[in-house]
A and B are shown apart, each in its own frame.
Chain A
Amino acid sequence: MLRCNNQTNLEMEIVRRALRRVLVIEDDAETAQQIVDFLTARGYEADLAVDGDEGVRLGEAGEYAVIVVDRMLPFVDGLAIIQHLREAGVVTPALIISALGEVDDRVRGLRVGGDDYLVKPFAFVELLARIEALARRSATVVKETVLRVGDLELDLVSRTVNRGGRDIKLLPREFQVLEYLVRHEGHVVPRTMLLEKVWDLHFDPSTNIIDVYVGRVRRKVDGEQTYPLIHTIRGVGFCVRAPR
């Protein structure tokens, strides 16, 4: 599990333990091994299927938190596997990995029952962030009205923010960005995921605009404070965490 600090939350940990098995269906041996190694190193139990048949067999038999499917497999389209599993009643969230990145492909992928879509090449931390987001989907969602990280407080009802008792004025979009980051406290949030969830945009912008935007939120939240809360993970995205 990708944590940007070593803080643990015992209750959540128990929920997640049952959801630590990931099925990876990928034919490229090196990529597959890299994914498996990376997931294993982060405490996941990863099963590997190198072709569609094995993927379907494992997917139907095993209890997985997430299934990661490569779009282009020998002899079979990854989408067909998902379709097959869905017809067989398997509801495990599926993450499609593809070298075809355009909107139409994404839409088709999600239409057959895929739950998320990631374009090759990708950063492993982004893959992990997305796997975690999918795994959490099945975990219990706690209804909260106030979110807290360190001395930062977000009131979700009045949409106000204060840090150490001092009000911070945020624009509505900025509030959403901060809310999303705080909800994923301790986890890396990839740029593209932030764009998807906050702006509903499904492309990787060619500009560094998200960094600039989050930079402004950070100035408002972290400026003149004793410690920073919003951290940039180079090349990937952002992470909110408080020091121990």
Chain B
Amino acid sequence: MLLGKTLRSTTFKLALISIGVFGAVVIVLFGYVYWSTTNFVLSRSDSAIEAERAALRNIYDMSGREGLIQAIERRSSTASFKGSVYLLGDQLFSRVAGNLKEWPVVKGAGQWTEFKSDVLGQKTDQALYRATWETLPDGFHLLVGKDISDLNRFATEIYAALAFAIFLIFVLAAVASVNVTRRTVGRIESISTTSRAIMETGLGRRIPIRGTQDEWDHLAQNLNSMLERIETLMGEVKQMSDNVAHDLRTPLARMRGRLEKASIEKNAPDHDQSLISETMADLDDVLRMFSSLTRISQIEAVNQTAAFRIVNLGEIATEVADLFDAAAEGKGGRVEVFGDKTARVNADRDLLFDAISNLVDNAVKHGREGGLVSIRLDHKGGEVILSVSDDGPGIPSEEFGHIFKRFYRLERSRSMPGNGLGLSLVAAVARLHGASIKLIDNAPGLRVELRFPFIDSIGDTTYGRSAASAA
């Protein structure tokens, strides 16, 4: 199956195309090498034959037919002319002199002919000769040639070597491309198998990593961390819709029950009145939860920085402390602001007020009976730090990672009023303001720290635009 996939894969097709192009170039190149090599050797032997014929013609011109016959006889019997053939024939091509028995089958005068023949006085096998001939002025014919068997063998050997090289190149290229393709297809296959498995079974699977640190591993790692993120988000979404469902169902069920009971029973008007106001209060809770949710997602989704101004963080903190002091008073405690009350940040006053209120509200609610909630303002390392701390029981540090999740509530505070959205809102507001948020064990109690980027120029603050006009 993998082989079939390998052969069908795009990589393999690309490899085939490049092998084809490369192979064609190699064949043409090798063909040229073969052609030019044999041609070169052949033309050298041809010019030697031409020179010999010209020399014999010269002898004929100088000393006539007798001289030529003598020269041919002498050459035929001399060892240094071994490998050459000479033949002088009469008008009817009958042999007159030379080392060939008879006139071979040849093409017209002046043309090259290759033929096999025996040589007189030599006990060798038939050899391949290449020759040319001319008609002398007296009507006789002179043929001069050379043994080209070696040449032929040389050409054959070159041909074989080149052909073998081409064959080898093709085989190696094919093997390499099948291998590379198979590797690629294998890695892609493992990714696509995993994705199919994820589609079918859920987000729990991960793409195997081979530890080769190559691009495939990097791809797999990236895809895995993407899956990780998606899984977390899906988990949060699920958790959230579960919580919405739960937090909605509880008051809705209460309201339904109440209304159902009222529709069956005949009640006194003042009883109906209290039923109506209780139901309205429950509905208000549900609506408040919805508006908190949409508020958080709007802060997160839209970059709401239109209302950003330089605001005095100290004044906001004092304002919040003043507001919540009334609530803390009910528990015998107090809320106080410490540190630099002139600290300024670039912020949306409403959102910041809401966020700090939530922090202080939490601190007052979960703090010690009669305890102190302190808001501290500080400059450190180019940042403005606002921290809200209480001296209550605090929260276990293993919960630190969870409490910014929407609807997350500690087991012990499930019975308290609230919807678990406060800190999510704080986190969203902090992100919008480029502030980091950190939870610290206050021992005892919890400290929440917001670190805002510091503003250098202290511009005109717009804080308190008409805040004092109550009329």
A residues engaging B (CB < 8 A)?
101-104, 107, 119, 121, 171, 173, 176-177, 179-180, 183, 197-209, 212-213, 215-216, 234-235
Contacts and interface: CB of A to CB of B under 8 A. Distances in A.
B61 interface: no
B412 interface: no
Given A104-B302, A200-B466, A207-B361, A213 B353 contact: no
Interface residues of B, number: 45
Interface in B95-115: none
A107 B464 CA distance: 17
B307 A206 contact: no
Contacts of A197: 469-470
Contacts of B307: 103-104, 107
A198 B470 contact: yes
B277 A212 contact: no
14 contacts: A101-B291, A102-B295, A102-B298, A102-B304, A103-B307, A103-B350, A107-B306, A176-B468, A199-B467, A201-B350, A203-B295, A206-B354, A208-B417, A213-B326
Contact of B350 (A177, A198, A203, A216): A203
Contact of B354 (A107, A179, A200, A203): A203
Counting from the closest, the 5 A-B pairs by CB-CB distance are A176-B470, A200-B467, A216-B326, A212-B327, A180-B470
A207 B357 contact: yes
Interface in B271-293: 277, 280-281, 284, 287-288, 291-292
Interface in B291-329: 291-292, 294-295, 298, 302, 304, 306-307, 319, 322-324, 326-327, 329
A204 B231 CA distance: 34
Contacts of A201: 349-350, 353
A107 B421 CA distance: 25
B348 interface: yes
A185 B306 CA distance: 37
A209 B324 contact: yes
Contacts of A213: 323, 326-327
Contact of B281 (A209, A212, A234): A234
Contacts of B358: 206-207
B422 A206 contact: yes
Contacts of B304: 102-104
A240 to B, nearest CB: 13
A198 B280 CA distance: 26
Interface centre among B327, B348, B417, B464 (most CB of A within 10 A): B327
A113 to B, nearest CB: 18
A173 B353 contact: no
A204 B354 CA distance: 9
Given A173-B323, A203-B350, 11 more contacts: A104-B307, A173-B319, A176-B468, A179-B471, A197-B470, A199-B467, A202-B350, A205-B354, A206-B288, A206-B292, A206-B421
Interface string B76-87: 000000000000
Contacts of A177: 470
B465 interface: yes
Contact of A235 (B280, B292, B357, B465): B280
B330 interface: yes
A235 B351 CA distance: 23
Contacts of A202: 350
A209 B277 CA distance: 20
Contacts of B295: 101-102, 203
A204 B288 contact: yes
Contact of B319 (A101, A121, A199, A234): A199
Contacts of B324: 209, 212
